[in-house]
Amino acid sequence: MRQCLTSDLGGYYTPKTSSENDQFGTKGDFVTSPEISQIFGELLGLWVVAEWIAQGRRGEGVYLMEMGPGRGTLMDDMLRTIRNFPPLAKAIEAVYLVEASQNLRLAQHKLLCGENPLTENSIGHESTSKYSPDLKIIWAEDVRFIPQDPTKTPFMIAHEFFDALPIHVFQSVPPPPPQNEGDAADTIQTPTGPIKNPRRLPQGHQWRELVVSPTPPHRLKEGEPEFELTMAKAATPHSMYLPETSSRYKALKDVDGATIEVSPESLAYARDFAIRLGGSNPETSAPSQPAAGRKAVASAPREEAVMKDEPSGAALIIDYGPASTIPANSLRGIKQHTRVSPFTSPGTTDVSADVDFLALAESAINSSPGVEVHGPVSQALFLTAMGIEERAAQLVKKAMVEKGRTGEGKEELTEVVKRIEGGWQRLVDPSPQGMGGLYQVMAMLPFRPEQVGEDGKRRRPVGFGGDVRL
Ligand code: SAH
């Protein structure tokens, strides 16, 4: 997946020539929510404003970060919205964009920075916002290059990013048939007589990795993909390790044919977000006790500690995938708005997989005692709670007033209204293949112990059942 999507040799997002480069929009392979309606980015911008208010309106040190910004439309819509809240706009020290594709970085730069020069820096590239010469926009190819500064308040957005991160697929196979007592394979001859072979065959089910292999020539058909998914004949390093990392996977191990998809890179991103928000888990990174009021969490490998005095910031993850089950058989290819085999023309087909939201939540909570997770909730629920319908009505009204002023034709106005109405309704469409139900929204926030008098009714973030509290 990694090679097909972002390889230097010409991946889907990193083609060798820029003419191949418009994956988004009606002419490309797929249309994403920010490209459908400006309201999507505006509401995400408002969500950041609401969280910033709820966390005490910090006057400095705010980072806005986006993973995989595509054409940059979402960030542009967010920044335009945030400009209406000057104290937050002023508090934003930098915008960080994680982008593996050079072509998309250039498109984002053009949209967000206009003619301002793009220069190299120690972590990637940088420029300044077209909205303000004081606002730096900084690009890195991986979130790990962005400094983890515990004094900062990062607001992180990942829309349709996690589905592009590589997965490993495992299937549970039953144990081999038992050996008969006295079988040659079961005994070893020694100078003092036969002893039982200490190399015991596996007793229970085993995870086997499904790997991509070339289709054998006798099965290769004209016009069909040259690769297929086959089961590894023996354990692989990944099959011995990854399925043992969560009780969710272990619970399926004894089910014949159970299939699970695990994305270690996604878990690493969730972990990174959690640490930026809540600081490292003191139990695993430094020999100290969790601070008063913080949760103690289970251990993970040791790493450089990020100790945060007070958790701050938020992460919002929007993507498709089941709300609580482990994805299976979800690896897919998309070409020109049609689902195709993920092995069709590698490097020119979009390849993606369902996001395992619960795995991301588990990774975040295990990585930092300073975070809590809300959702996932359906995109329809989230955007409705954020006021998508009201914002659309506002835009329609504005278009009408403008029409009155400019004397624009009736047809143009009908077109604009149709686009606004059609756009927002598509984003919240609850039908089985509609975006409102397929996409889920999950938030990571600073962990807040229950306060006196809350009686189990703790603050919920806006969009997840909560209100904006001014
Ligand atoms: N968020 C955008 C685009 C989503 S497409 C939108 O909603 O329109 C996925 C984006 O993630 C692209 O910008 C792609 O280049 C980037 N991307 C994919 N894999 C990546 C990786 N491993 N590291 C960094 N960026 C990646």
Question: 101 in ligand 1 pocket by Cβ < 6 Å?
Answer: yes
Average pLDDT over residues 153-178: 94
Nearest ligand 1 atom to the CA of 159 is 1
Residue 157 above 90 pLDDT?
yes
Residue 415 CB: number of other CB atoms within 10 A?
12
Confidence (pLDDT) at 175: 85
- Distance separating alpha carbons of residues 228 and 233, to the nearest angstrom: 15
Q: Does residue 32 contact residue 24 with C-beta atoms inside 8 Å?
A: yes
> What's the token pair of residue 255?
């089910």
Residue with tokens 């039982």: 196
Give residue 71 CA to ligand 1 midpoint distance, Å: 9
Lowest-confidence segment of 199-213, 342-356, 366-380 by average pLDDT: 199-213
Q: Give the mean pLDDT of 349-375.
A: 96
Neighbours of 26 (CB within 10 A): 9
Q: How far apart are CA 242 and CA 72, in angstroms?
A: 34
Ligand 1 centroid to Cα of residue 99, in Å, is 6
Of 123-127, 186-190, 251-255, 451-455, the one with minimum mean pLDDT is 186-190
SS3 call for 197: coil
- Give the pLDDT band of residue 69 (cuts 50, 70, 90): very high
pLDDT computed for residue 288 by the predictor: 44
Q: What percent of the chain has pLDDT over 90?
A: 64
Query: Of all protein residues, whose CA lies closest to atom 14 belonging to ligand 1?
Result: 68
Which ligand 1 atom is at minimum distance from the Cα of 24?
A: 8
Nearest CA to ligand 1 atom 16: 68
How far the first Cα of the chain sits from its last, in Å, is: 45
Residue nearest to atom 6 of ligand 1 (CA): 70
Residue bearing the bigger pLDDT, 283 or 25: 283
Of 18, 31, 101, the one to substitute when testing ligand 1's pocket (max ligand atoms within 8 A of C-beta) is 101
Report whether pLDDT(345) > 90: no
Give 284 Cα–ligand 1 centroid separation in angstroms: 31
Centre of ligand 1 from the C-alpha of residue 104, in Å: 9
More confident residue, 184 or 283: 283
pLDDT value at position 13? 86
pLDDT for residue 363 is more than 60: yes
Distance (Å) from CA 318 to ligand 1 centroid: 13
pLDDT at 338: 84
Ligand 1 atom, smallest distance to 35 CA: 8
**Closest ligand 1 atom to Cα of 68:** 11
Higher pLDDT, 456 or 114: 114
pLDDT reported for residue 448: 85
> According to the model, what pLDDT value does residue 44 have?
98
DSSP codes, 370-390 = TEEEEEEEEHHHHHHHTTHHH
- Above pLDDT 70, what percent of the chain? 88
Q: Is 366 in the pocket of ligand 1 (CB under 6 A)?
A: no
Which residues, in sequence order, are CB contacts of 272 under 8 Å at separation 6+? 143, 144, 148
d(CA 68, CA 13): 10
Nearest ligand 1 atom to the CA of 73 is: 8
| CA 31 to ligand 1 center in whole angstroms | 13
pLDDT at 21: 57
- Binned at pLDDT 50, 70 and 90, residue 16 comes out as low
- Put simply, whether the predicted model's pTM sits higher than 0.95 gets the answer no
Q: What residue owns the CA closest to ligand 1's atom 19? A: 164
Q: Is the CB of 5 under 6 A from ligand 1?
A: yes
Mean pLDDT of all residues in 8-31: 72
Compute the distance from residue 159 Cα to the ligand 1 centre, in Å.
Answer: 8
For 91-138, the pLDDT digits (tens) are: 999 999 999 999 999 999 999 999 999 999 999 999 999 999 999 999
Cα radius of gyration rounded to whole Å, the chain: 25
Regarding the beta carbon of 164 and ligand 1, being less than 6 Å apart is answered yes
Least confident of 49-58, 65-74, 226-235, 321-330: 226-235
With bands split at pLDDT 50, 70 and 90, how would you rate the model's confidence at 18? low
- Distance from Cα 6 to the centre of ligand 1, integer Å: 9
CA of 465 to the centre of ligand 1 (A): 29
In the predicted model, what is the mean pLDDT of residues 167-176?
93
* pLDDT at residue 273, rounded to an integer: 98
- Closest Cα partner for 22 from 38, 4, 35? 35
Atom of ligand 1 lying closest to residue 101 CA: 15
Residue nearest to atom 17 of ligand 1 (CA): 68
Find the mean pLDDT for residues 175-181: 71
Cβ 376 under 6 angstroms from ligand 1? no
What is the predicted pLDDT for the residue at 7?
85
Task: List residues bridging with 172 in a β-sheet.
Answer: 207
Distance 167 CA to ligand 1 centre (A): 15
159 lines ligand 1 (CB under 6 A): yes
**pLDDT value at residue 184:** 58
Q: Is the CB of 107 under 6 A from ligand 1?
A: no
Residue-wise pLDDT tens digits, 408-455: 678 888 889 999 999 999 999 999 889 999 999 999 999 988 777 777
